[in-house]
Amino acid sequence: MDIFGSFALLLALGAAVYAFAGGIAGIATRRPLLSKTARNAGMAVFGLVTLAVATIIYAFFTDDFSLAYVSAHSNHTLPLYYKFSALWAGQEGSLLFWTWLLSIYAFFALFLNRKKHPELMPYVGVTLAGVQIFFLTLNNFVASPFRVLGAMDATGAMHVARLSDGSGLNPLLQYYEMVIHPPILYLGYTGFTVPFAFAMAALLGRYPGEKWIHITRRWTMVAWCFQTVGILLGAHWAYAVLGWGGYWAWDPVENAALLPWITGTAFLHSVMMQEKRGMMKVWNVWLVFVTFMLCILGTSLTRTGVVSSVHAFAESSIGSWFFTFLAIILVVCLAAWFKNRDYLRSDNQLDSLVSRESSFLFNNLILLAACFAVLWGTLFPVISEAVTGNKISVGPPFFNKVNVPIALFLLFLTGVGPLLAWRKTSFDSLKRNFAWPLIGGVIAGAVAFALGFREFYPLICLILSVFVTLTIAAEFYRGARVIASRDGTNLLTAVGELTMRNTRRYGGYVIHFGMVLIFVGISGQAFNQDIQKEMNIGDTISIGPYRILCQNFDQPSTSNYSSDRATLEVFRNGKSQMMLYPEHRTYLASQVSETIVAVQSTPLRDLYVVYAGASPETGKPVIHAYLNPLVKWIWFGGIVVVLGTGLAMFPSRGAALALRPVAQPAWGESVAPGSAPAIAPIHRSDGHD
């Protein structure tokens, strides 16, 4: 098995090298047939890596403990679906998984465009193959998942050894979300390779027109959506499994996933400046480049031990590979940009401070500031050690101080930006679009203040959330009203019709609304409470509106783990509400303990209860209860963001064209809704590709 898998990986590397070298030769000699063979080799990589992945999965399913990787991450009693997820539980497997997902993306990027863009695609193929060569080199020669266990026999000769059982999967990963969170996050990380390849291709090939920017934007949305979901699933996993009552801790690995998300978000916005006004071309190309580099950096941070994180894999020498690769990418990007910088000359200049353009500029400025702050804070131990010789780390106060105001300013722009006109917005249109939402927000803030709501940032967040929600609702209402009165349909049907006619614009609004929900959820953190107490049977603790009565302690155990469990009854207003069963498990194969949190989640608040083990002084069980308001809004907001992204990628119905000049300026088009349609000419594309 190991030989078959290794061989498939080696062939995949060969195919990638051919796709790279043959692709370059094809471009240089202008022979389409050569380019075609290179493309086919690029697609073949997918098939070969798939064989290798199938081999390792087969080894997991058949409990082949002669493979070092399998014996380190699985055992006989591990449930089947976790044997599958064990594929990405360690360094070697997760790198193979990275390569595989990348090969899937590369396959689709090449296959879907096989008959299109003959000038562009050879460059895309070469760029993709270049990235694949790097990862396949790691898979083959640095971190092969097909390493076999060796043992010396009596005569001193080495032969393959087979363990009777493996050491089992890390219990923290034995959770259903861990079966889907890593693949989705990896789909985000790897996905940004495709926009990178297209941007690089357009720059190197000096591809005329803005077509490439539409393609790049689409692929970025795919990767961005996966990255969003991946980050949120990770946060949810941390919340539901780790038992510390929170979901985000500014850990280096969380930050690593956030960085490309931030630059990807910046790109998705600033790209509209290029589509409509021919501005920001250099900026956009660099955003795509930087996003990709941050993905590689993020992938390496978990693997190299450069930044100490409790998430990290075992330290290894693989870091130098990654940093060499990053340096190569940077040099290639700089060279490609420098050689072709005249290709990226801007067509227009900023006309007014109160315009769509400037709102995008501010959006990008502060997103980049957030990205820089997070990157700086994450790498600070490394930087400070290099500069001063002292290793200094910074904690959440640093990240929060900088990023909370940034986030609120972004929220403000979310409401304002889409309603500003291109070039210049008149005071009248400002008043028309923002008067009511602003009044609504201020009223909400005043009511909250009167009710005793005094935290500064959450109050601002509340006002802005109401404001943004109202601007979005008003947008839907204005458009739908026109359709409803013309077609004689009811308003709800008209909203659907409106959305389908310009999915990109209204999908964007849905995403914005999802972000508002997430912001509301995060601001709930300011009101978290927790209490910890040693409890005997019959004892109670009170937190918020709840009273928790300890009913029983027992030890339910299975063949996989042994456990201590508390049975708690939760009362509210004297009435019994529910039973909670927080647990503390010890896995038998690995002797690792784990906390199983009991959560009662409602839209208003989560009651989150942890069995914190026995008190060292008295031996009595300790129960730690948290009351976390509004957490559910975060997960729900995430679902809304995904739906919005799906909507925005859905092709618009053609009928939009006929109506648009009057009441439906396309997403990001010239006229602020409700304002006179005469201002500002329509530029370039029709708003959706």
Partner 1 sequence: MKAQSKFLIGSGIIVATLLALAYIGYTQSKTYYHTISELATLPAPEQHQRMRVSGNVRGGSISHRDGRIDFVLEEQGKSLPVSYVGSDPLPDTFKDGAQALVEGRLQPDGDFTAEQVQAKCASKYEASPTGAPIQPSPTPGQSMNPAPGSSAGKS
Q: Which of 566, 619, 631 is nearest to 595 (CA)?
A: 566
Q: What is the closest distance, in whole angstroms, from the C-beta atom of residue 520 to partner 1 in the complex?
A: 17
Q: What is the closest distance, in whole angstroms, from the C-beta atom of residue 633 to partner 1 in the complex?
A: 18
Q: What is the closest distance, in whole angstroms, from the C-beta atom of residue 417 to partner 1 in the complex?
A: 14
Q: Which of 449, 631, 598, 617 is nearest to 528 (CA)?
A: 631
Are β-strands 583-587 and 575-580 bridged in parallel, bridged antiparallel, or unpaired?
unpaired
Q: Which of 84, 87, 71 is nearest to 164 (CA)?
A: 71
Q: Which is nearer to partner 1, 204 or 238 (CB)?
A: 238
- State the alpha helices, DSSP H only, in 138-241: 176-191, 193-205, 211-241
CA distance 567 to 557: 15
Q: Which is nearer to partner 1, 71 or 433 (CB)?
A: 71
Q: What is the closest distance, in whole angstroms, from the C-beta atom of residue 249 to partner 1 in the complex?
A: 4
Q: Which is nearer to partner 1, 13 or 241 (CB)?
A: 241
Non-local CB neighbours of 491 within 8 Å, separated by 6+ positions: 477, 480, 481, 484
Q: Which helix (H) or strand (E) holds 634?
A: helix 631-649
Q: What is the closest distance, in whole angstroms, from the C-beta atom of residue 11 to partner 1 in the complex?
A: 25
Token readout for 99 is 């390569």
Q: Which is nearer to partner 1, 594 or 669 (CB)?
A: 594
Q: What is the closest distance, in whole angstroms, from the C-beta atom of residue 78 to partner 1 in the complex?
A: 13
Name the one residue in this structure whose structure tokens are 């990589």: 45
Q: What is the closest distance, in whole angstroms, from the C-beta atom of residue 565 to partner 1 in the complex?
A: 15
Contacts for 68-73: CB closer than 8 Å, 24+ residues apart = 68/147, 68/148, 68/149, 69/93, 69/145, 69/146, 69/147, 70/166, 71/149, 71/163, 71/166, 71/167, 72/166, 72/167, 73/166, 73/167, 73/168, 73/169, 73/170
Token readout for 283 is 């900026």
The CA distances from residue 280 to 216, 294, 391, 424, in Å, are 15, 20, 38, 18
Q: Which is nearer to partner 1, 398 or 571 (CB)?
A: 398
Measured in whole angstroms, the distance separating CA 271 from the mean position of its chain's CA atoms is 19
Is 635 in contact with 536 (CB distance < 8 Å)?
A: no
Q: What is the closest distance, in whole angstroms, from the C-beta atom of residue 577 to partner 1 in the complex?
A: 24
Q: Which is nearer to partner 1, 351 or 689 (CB)?
A: 351
Which residues are 109's β-sheet partners? Answer: none
Q: Which is nearer to partner 1, 345 or 575 (CB)?
A: 345
Is 280 in contact with 270 (CB distance < 8 Å)?
A: yes
Quickly count: other Cβ atoms within 10 Å of residue 564's Cβ: 19
Is 9 in contact with 48 (CB distance < 8 Å)?
A: yes
Q: Which is nearer to partner 1, 97 or 476 (CB)?
A: 97
Q: What is the closest distance, in whole angstroms, from the C-beta atom of residue 664 to partner 1 in the complex?
A: 28
- Taking the chain, what is the end-to-end CA distance rounded to the nearest angstrom? 47
Q: Which is nearer to partner 1, 104 or 240 (CB)?
A: 240
Contacts for 73-78: CB closer than 8 Å, 24+ residues apart = 73/166, 73/167, 73/168, 73/169, 73/170, 74/166, 74/168, 74/169, 75/165, 75/166, 75/167, 75/168, 75/169, 75/589, 76/165, 76/166, 77/168, 77/559, 77/560, 77/589, 78/166, 78/168, 78/169, 78/560
Name the one residue in this structure whose structure tokens are 């940077």: 330
Which residues are 158's β-sheet partners? Answer: 152
Q: What is the closest distance, in whole angstroms, from the C-beta atom of residue 686 to partner 1 in the complex?
A: 27
Q: What is the closest distance, in whole angstroms, from the C-beta atom of residue 286 to partner 1 in the complex?
A: 17
Q: What is the closest distance, in whole angstroms, from the C-beta atom of residue 72 to partner 1 in the complex?
A: 4
CA distance 332 to 137: 19
Q: Which is nearer to partner 1, 124 or 522 (CB)?
A: 522
Q: Which is nearer to partner 1, 274 or 363 (CB)?
A: 363
Q: Which is nearer to partner 1, 254 or 475 (CB)?
A: 254
Burial class (CB in 10 A: 0-12, 13-18, 19+), 473: middle
Q: What is the closest distance, in whole angstroms, from the C-beta atom of residue 174 to partner 1 in the complex?
A: 11
Q: What is the closest distance, in whole angstroms, from the C-beta atom of residue 104 to partner 1 in the complex?
A: 18
The CA distances from residue 657 to 451, 489, 501, 664, in Å, are 48, 20, 8, 9
Q: What is the closest distance, in whole angstroms, from the C-beta atom of residue 62 to partner 1 in the complex?
A: 20
CA distance 188 to 281: 24
Q: Which is nearer to partner 1, 436 or 553 (CB)?
A: 553
- Residue 613, SS3? strand
Q: Which is nearer to partner 1, 383 or 482 (CB)?
A: 383
CA distance 668 to 269: 10
CA distance 172 to 311: 11
- Residue 160, SS3? strand
Q: What is the closest distance, in whole angstroms, from the C-beta atom of residue 594 to partner 1 in the complex?
A: 7
Q: Which is nearer to partner 1, 366 or 419 (CB)?
A: 366
Q: Which is nearer to partner 1, 489 or 557 (CB)?
A: 557
Q: What is the closest distance, in whole angstroms, from the C-beta atom of residue 130 to partner 1 in the complex?
A: 22
Q: Which is nearer to partner 1, 37 or 348 (CB)?
A: 348
